[in-house]
């Protein structure tokens, strides 16, 4: 598993982790924002009127109303990215990562407008009478690529996109969702992870066999309910920590171009990390440029340009509202710098040579600032004097007796460590190579926490107490499960494009199987899979959008502000 995770990290470093992917993603949004005359601001009120029904633009074709198409796409976008993903961005990139999430969302509103309009315009009616649309159709019909005099058939590029979307639906819209649900349900309600996976897997199958109409019906009911539950709890936390709201905004803006400094148990993040994880989480959350939402919006009875205008609301609600609320709850509560009792993930744990400390004096300054400097460089993958330990660990009754080592877990110095084997306190020797323990064992102790667990800790502070974590568990269950439902539709439409409707049932079976298995897979590995596949599927979509820019300009110019 460690080798597979290292491979994923290598791929991610050359995709969303490199300079060119954020530039391509945000650059596409900036280009279309200027090229189309700032539609995310110009058409915002029109979007509200259309989706509320004050302005009717229905056509005969289509399987859903404009509102149902929006809520279906929203249920696909509003998921673990809004609860666990925001926490993950802060844990890795610091508060400054939230700023880059916002930037991604603002320009993503235009990106979404373009891809949904094109996806709806080029949609088609399949043999069984169902509507199918999305980037694979406008790539096939509108994209021509010539490399060194060789014309690449756009059909093959469309097939490549659809195939990547099939994988993305599983790696992004499926596995991280159930993984986070199972983790929080186990933490808050002691429900076994496998039971959660099996029960929700069965429920998922019952819903998805009903197609887009049943999916849209479920989504339009779940979205308002989960919004009320989540925002109600968040409002309580923010009122209780009102004095920390302004400092939280200051933390977000103060270190945007320098990275986030070390504070508490948090060892700091560079500018590059804040940018990378802010953009990655922004994309993962609102999906702008990814090509997924157009598949849901294509089922709408609205005119193409009108449904494109409606889609402007999606990144706004998803990232600028829901993600911002999550970020403020986490930052204002202060939990992102605190260490909590947790079971260590082997992927996030490394054993280092030497003793390092993050203790502070009475004035609040680090007693050993050189330790923090070196560890900060290490967690940021910069040159440092920190060395990973290779050797033996002597353990007596669950307690480390070996000295001159430091255990890092979740990018923080671990404390109060206990080692178990098969549920009992371990006595003996564990072998370590390059910072990783070879034998099967369980490490527990205090460290920073991330993902949905961090958000649950934030909601558990103060007046809500233990009920705060349970509220997050329920909200996450609704958020993430609705996401998994919608993403199966994205995957089966892509399957139908390549293999025809006969392949859809096989894809749905495989999708549900992966859903169940992901309930018990390592969280970090699941998120790294999501990072990689989301970046891969976005590239052909962004290129196709740019190639069709003139057509989009004509469609946009014809829109009458309502």
Q: Per-block average pLDDT, block size 10, for the chain (562 residues)? A: 76 76 88 97 93 67 79 77 84 91 93 96 84 91 64 80 90 83 83 93 90 80 79 91 94 88 85 80 79 92 92 91 93 94 90 93 88 90 91 93 90 94 92 91 94 88 85 84 90 92 91 91 70 83 92 92 75
Parallel, antiparallel or unpaired: strands 340-343 and 415-421: unpaired
Provide the 10 A C-beta neighbour count for residue 213: 13
Q: Specify whether 333 is located in the same domain as 364.
A: no
pLDDT at 58: 60
Phi, psi of 254 (to 5 degrees): -65, -30
Token pair recorded at residue 341:
């009792």
Assess if residue 49 is contained within a domain. Answer: no
- 93 and 224 inside one domain: yes
Q: Are the CB atoms for 97 and 498 separated by under 8 Å? A: no
Confirm whether 262 is domain-assigned.
Answer: yes
Asked, for residue 169, whether it belongs to a domain, the answer is yes
Tokens of 128: 């069984």
Q: What share of the chain is helix, strand, coil (3-state, %, to 5)?
A: 65, 10, 25
Q: Are residues 298 and 154 in the same domain?
A: yes
Partners of 109 in the β-ladder? none
Residue pair 352/408 in contact by the 8 Å Cβ criterion: yes
At which residue do the structure tokens 């998803």 appear?
318
Identify the burial level of 366 via C-beta atoms within 10 angstroms of its C-beta, where 0-12 means exposed, 13-18 middle and 19 or more buried: middle
35 belongs to a structural domain: yes
> How many Å apart are CA 293 and CA 486, to the nearest integer?
9
Q: What pLDDT is recorded for position 229?
A: 83
Number of domains in the chain: 2
The CA-atom distances, in angstroms, between 211 and each of 132, 205, 217 are 12, 11, 10
Based on the fold, state whether residues 516 and 501 are members of the same structural domain.
yes
Asked which of 395, 418, 447 is the last residue of a domain, the reply is 447
Cα distance between residue 417 and residue 61, in whole Å: 62
- Collapsing DSSP to helix, strand or coil, 155 comes out as helix
Specify the pLDDT at position 556: 94
DSSP letter for each residue of 302-336: B-HHHHHHHTTHHHIIIIIIIIHHHHHHHHHHTGG
pLDDT value for 182: 87
CA distance 237 to 230: 11
Residues in the chain: 562
CB count, 10 Å around CB of 57? 17
Query: What is the spatial distance between Cα 136 and Cα 160, in angstroms, rounded to a whole number?
Result: 9
Structural domain boundaries, residue 168: 2-42+65-338+457-557
Tell me the CA distances in angstroms from 538 to 156, 262, 291, 319, one per residue in order: 16, 33, 7, 18
Cβ atoms of 476 and 181 within 8 Å: the answer is: yes
Q: Which residue has the tokens 């599927």?
A: 537
**Closest alpha carbon to 39 in 135, 122, 116, 114:** 114
| Spatial CA neighbour of 201 closest among 532, 510, 548 | 510
Q: Say how far apart CA 102 and CA 320 lie, in whole Å.
A: 6
* Spatial separation of the C-alpha atoms in residues 170 and 543, rounded to whole Å: 23
Q: What distance in Å separates the CA atoms of residue 310 and residue 562, rounded to the nearest whole number?
A: 12
Do 348 and 331 reside in the same domain of the chain?
A: no
Judgement on whether residues 186 and 207 belong to the same structural domain of the protein:
yes
Residues paired with 407 in a beta bridge? 351
* CA–CA distance, 91 with 450 (Å, rounded to integer): 6
Do 434 and 466 fall into the same domain? Answer: no
Residues 552 and 427 in one domain: no
Phi, psi dihedral angles at 377 (to 5 degrees): -60, -40
φ/ψ region of 340 (left if φ > 0, alpha if ψ in -120 to 50, else beta) reads beta
331 and 232 within one domain: yes
Residues 6+ apart with CB under 8 A from 532: 8, 11, 12, 15, 16, 171
My answer on whether 398 and 537 are in the same domain is no
Residue ending a domain, choose from 403, 421, 447: 447
pLDDT in tens, 137-169: 999 887 765 555 555 668 888 999 999 999 889
Helices 96-121 and 135-142, packing angle to 10 deg = 60
Report the run of H or E that residue 120 belongs to, with start and end.
Answer: helix 96-121
- Residue 431: beta bridge partners? 392
Give a yes or no: residue 48 inside a domain.
Answer: no
Assign 256 to helix, strand or coil. coil
Task: Give residue 380's pLDDT.
Answer: 82
CATH number at residue 475: 1.20.1740
For residue 250, give every residue at least 6 positions away whose Cβ sits within 8 Å of its Cβ, in sequence order, or none. none
Task: Report how far apart, in Å, the C-alpha atoms of 424 and of each of 186, 414, 445, 494 are.
Answer: 20, 20, 15, 48
Q: Does residue 59 lie in a domain region?
A: no
Position 100 in a domain: yes
**Does residue 272 sit in the same domain as residue 412?**
no
Residues 441 and 313 in one domain: no
At 453 the pLDDT is 84
Contacts of 391 (CB under 8 A, 6+ apart): 431, 432
Is 52 part of a structural domain of the chain?
no
Tell me which of 447, 468, 491 is where a domain ends: 447
């Amino acid at each position: 598993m460690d080798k597979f995770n290292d491979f994923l990290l290598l791929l991610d470093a050359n995709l969303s982790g490199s300079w060119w992917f954020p530039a391509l993603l945000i650059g596409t949004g900036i280009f279309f924002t200027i090229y189309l005359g700032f539609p995310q601001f110009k058409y915002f009120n029109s979007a509200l009127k259309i989706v509320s029904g004050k302005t009717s633009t229905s056509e005969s074709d289509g399987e859903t109303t404009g509102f149902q198409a929006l809520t279906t796409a929203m249920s696909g976008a509003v998921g673990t990215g809004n609860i666990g993903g925001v926490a993950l961005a802060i844990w890795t990139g610091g508060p400054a990562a939230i700023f880059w999430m916002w930037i991604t969302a603002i320009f993503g509103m235009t990106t979404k407008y373009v891809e949904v309009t094109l996806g709806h315009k080029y949609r088609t009616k399949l043999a069984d009478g169902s509507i199918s649309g999305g980037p694979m159709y406008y790539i096939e019909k509108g994209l021509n690529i010539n490399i060194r005099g060789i014309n690449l058939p756009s059909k093959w590029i469309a097939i490549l996109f659809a195939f990547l979307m099939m994988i993305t639906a599983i790696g992004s819209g499926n596995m991280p969702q159930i993984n986070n649900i199972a983790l929080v349900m186990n933490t808050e309600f002691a429900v076994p992870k496998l039971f959660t996976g099996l029960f929700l897997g069965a429920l998922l199958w019952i819903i998805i066999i009903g197609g887009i109409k049943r999916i849209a019906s479920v989504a339009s009911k779940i979205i308002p309910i989960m919004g009320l539950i989540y925002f109600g709890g968040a409002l309580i936390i923010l009122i209780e920590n009102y004095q920390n709201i302004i400092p939280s905004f200051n933390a977000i803006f103060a270190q945007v171009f320098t990275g986030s400094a070390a504070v508490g148990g948090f060892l700091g993040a560079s500018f590059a990390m804040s940018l990378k994880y802010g953009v990655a989480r922004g994309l993962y959350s609102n999906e702008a440029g990814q090509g997924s939402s157009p598949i849901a919006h294509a089922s709408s009875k609205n005119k193409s340009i009108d449904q494109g205008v409606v889609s402007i609301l999606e990144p706004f609600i998803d990232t600028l509202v829901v993600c911002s609320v999550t970020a403020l709850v986490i930052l204002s509560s202060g939990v992102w710098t605190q260490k909590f009792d947790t079971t260590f993930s082997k992927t996030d744990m490394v054993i280092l040579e030497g003793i390092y400390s993050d203790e502070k004096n009475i004035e609040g300054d680090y007693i050993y600032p050189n330790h923090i400097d070196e560890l900060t460089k290490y967690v940021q993958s910069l040159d440092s004097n920190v060395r990973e330990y290779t050797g033996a660990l002597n353990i007596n009754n669950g307690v480390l007796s070996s000295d001159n080592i430091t255990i890092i877990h979740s990018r923080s110095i671990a404390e109060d460590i206990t080692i178990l084997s098969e549920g009992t306190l371990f006595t003996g020797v564990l072998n370590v190579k390059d910072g990783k323990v070879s034998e099967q064992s369980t490490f527990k102790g205090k460290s920073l926490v991330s993902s949905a667990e961090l958000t649950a800790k934030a909601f558990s502070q103060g007046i809500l107490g233990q009920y705060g974590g349970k509220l997050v568990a329920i909200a996450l269950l609704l958020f993430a499960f609705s996401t998994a439902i919608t993403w199966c539709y994205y995957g089966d439409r892509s399957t139908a494009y390549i293999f025809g409707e006969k392949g859809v049932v096989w894809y749905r079976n495989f999708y549900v199987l992966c859903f169940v298995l992901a309930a018990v897979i390592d969280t970090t590995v699941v998120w790294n899979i999501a990072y990689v596949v989301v970046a891969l599927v976005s590239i052909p979509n962004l290129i196709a959008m740019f190639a069709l820019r003139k057509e989009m300009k004509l469609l946009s110019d014809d829109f009458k502000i309502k």
